[in-house]
Copies of this chain bind each other. A is one copy, B any other.
Amino acid sequence: STRLGETMDALGNAASAARRARTMLLLVWTLLNAVSGLKADDGGMVEELVTEKEAEESHRQDSVNLLTFISLLTLTILTIWLFKHRRVRFLHETGLAMIYGLLVGVILRYGIPATSYHNKTPPSCSLKEGPSSTLLLNISGKFFEYTLKGEINFREIHNVEQNDMLRKVTFDPEVFFNILLPPIIFHAGYSLKKRHFFRNLGSIITYAFLGTAVSCFVIGNLMYGVVKLMRAVGQLTEKFYYTDCLFFGAIISATDPVTVLAIFNELHADGDLYALLFGESVMNDAVAIVLSSSIVAYQPAGANTHMFDASAFFKSVGIFLGIFSGSFVMGAATGVVTALVTKFTKLHCFPLLETALFFLMSWSTFLLAEACGFTGVVAVLFCGITQAHYTSNNLSEESTKRTKQLFEVLHFLAENFIFSYMGLALFTFQKHIFSPIFIIGAFVAIFIGRALNIYPLSFLLNLGRRDKIRGNFQHMMMFAGLRGAMAFALAIRDTATSARQMMFTTTLLIVFFTVWVFGGGTTPMLSWLHIRVGVDPDQDLDGNQDEGQSKTKQESAWLFRLWYTFDHNYLKPILTHSGPPLTSTLPSYCGPLASCLTSPRAYENHEQLRDPDTDLIHNDADLTFTFGDTAITANGASTSRADATGGLGWSTNGKRSGSTSEEALERELDSREQELLSRGTRLVFPMEDHI
């Protein structure tokens, strides 16, 4: 009863905090209006002062807007705490952020009188030339510089004036792409659970590329049918091309099962399913963003626009491949540069400098890619993966923690900001077009699109996988096709035409529905589908052995082994302090180069491990050794082998004798992941690896 009392207390506190915050918000708003009202009365001032005051007013308004969002986020945090405290799982923090956003949106829309602080219509002037980014205004010899904000519909001019307040809460859509998405995507890459990710890499790539393409085309074609239907029943008079439908298919194919994954994490659900879902959603964000820009770039030649044109189509495919691979290379390159810098300097003595450098280099990937015309968000994703794989081996323990925490906070804030903005946008966005047929059509289309993505691809993948993706996993993946931040950001990026506005409204509703309904239904769904929860990440693999299930087959074992050997023997030693010394892996004629590139620490590690088995790792990845290796626990600094008999017992298991080398690779992957934590030595600590 004490706990209940505490909870009730806390609930009361949070509720009163919510009330306080809302009251404060309204107060500020009212105050501001009063102040602006006063200012508007000062008619006869000199021009300069008016401009200054307007600038001041606009700054103040910006502050209030940001303050609104910060209050929203604060409220969300407090309520999240309450939910976590009470172990409420039916509503995730993102869903909550949306609800608070909706509430504030309603208040802004209906609770505050729609007065504008300058009640005059803005002055207008005419030109014959086309619009340019800069315009000079000549007022009796004085020149003022204006910058283009965008085209505005004539009938909206008055509307805009009336809803000035609502309009002010609107952020530049590019803010989402340039400020809020990068930390989210980077964090996703940086916190990949490498072990399960690499184990399922083939499937993840299949779902992400092929699956997203399938989903995009299925949804696009279905929506084209819906658009034709709408035109037939007279619900649509504006332009809505086939490419628009495909564009919608692309943006709505970006899944974001953040809610589902949070619950997976909390319940310690199956690691492979987690990896499949997480990997797919991370990679398909990248695919969707590039796909949508390729579709926009699809410009058939001649008068017959928006029809199929083979050359334009192949150009689009080329653009897709070019942008994707360019962004990938850029992200990986920055990661590699960071790894080299952190390896060859002794920066790890100064965690602050190291963290700052890491942050700046990761950010520069984004800017570099954007500056070169690639996609920053995609580059940032691969940068994150590279940083996690190489650079984090070179960081000091302190910096590893710092960078992880820094990006965790940034990710958390950005994600909740986007979701509360979504809630707000439903009521404050000015150009919604609610078209019931389109919305219902879209819901049906994304369902069919998801189904035609998951089930057929799973069937195909299962032909190659020894460890089949079972039916309940497939249903769970189908269920976890939530839409989130990326779909929203892509949809809000361009809302100029009515087709795009309709898409935006529909996307918003799809996000709401999937996050609330599917997000909330995750826990029941998990138990209904009999997906095992409470898996101890450390016991995961051992558990599998006991179950006698083979989860260790690589789909592309040959390719994977090639890459693994190359990475382990050359890339890791060149880029990090870990791995075998290059002198032992490179041919002897590369001697001087090898000894120059090899970190002194690598020799130490090597010495420590020197024994008859060591060479087997490099050549044939002997099972006994690697199993013994991972079984070493953190009890004391001893490097003695533990449980060698267990290892032998396992290797004598005849059933899996054919897959020994793949399993050994995996063990290695596993230990490499944890090596990150014990850096330098080969001691493996049994730690939890939450994202």
Contacts and interface: CB of A to CB of B under 8 A. Distances in A.
A439 B574 CA distance: 53
A152 B140 CA distance: 13
Interface string A17-53: 1000000000010011001000000000001101100
A5 to B, nearest CB: 12
A558 interface: no
B122 A135 contact: yes
A47 B131 contact: yes
A339 to B, nearest CB: 13
A146 B135 contact: yes
Interface stretch (A341-349, A443-451, A510-518, A678-686): A341-349
A618 B55 CA distance: 53
A139 B123 contact: no
B126 A152 contact: no
Nearest to A494: B52
A431 interface: no
Given A10-B345, A145-B151, A346-B81, A174 B59 contact: yes
Contacts of A360: 70, 73-74, 77, 413
A128 interface: yes
Contact of A146 (B149, B341, B344): B149
Interface string A77-91: 110111011000000
A151 B144 contact: yes
Contacts of A402: 405, 409
Contact of A409 (B137, B174, B356, B371): B356
A134 interface: yes
Given A60-B371, A63-B371, A409-B352, A146 B147 contact: yes
B137 A373 contact: no
A70 B126 CA distance: 41
Contact of A63 (B50, B85, B367, B413): B367
Contacts of A349: 84-85
Given A59-B370, A145-B152, A360-B73, A14 B137 contact: no
A615 interface: no
Contacts of A303: none
Nearest to A14: B345
Interface string A348-363: 0110110111011101
Contact of A139 (B63, B64, B130, B157): B130
Oligomer copy total: 2
Contact of A126 (B31, B51, B138, B145): B138
A82 B346 CA distance: 9
A408 interface: yes
A154 interface: yes
A142 interface: yes
30 contacts: A14-B345, A28-B372, A31-B372, A51-B133, A51-B151, A55-B148, A58-B133, A60-B371, A63-B370, A64-B367, A66-B367, A70-B367, A74-B364, A84-B350, A84-B353, A85-B349, A118-B133, A120-B132, A124-B137, A125-B138, A127-B138, A143-B152, A143-B154, A144-B151, A145-B148, A146-B146, A146-B149, A147-B147, A355-B405, A356-B412
Interface of A: 6, 9-10, 13-14, 17, 28, 31-32, 35, 47-48, 50-51, 54-55, 58-60, 63-64, 66-67, 70-71, 73-74, 77-78, 80-82, 84-85, 118, 120, 122-154, 157, 174, 178, 341, 344-347, 349-350, 352-353, 355-357, 359-361, 363-364, 367-368, 370-373, 376, 402, 405-406, 408-409, 412-413
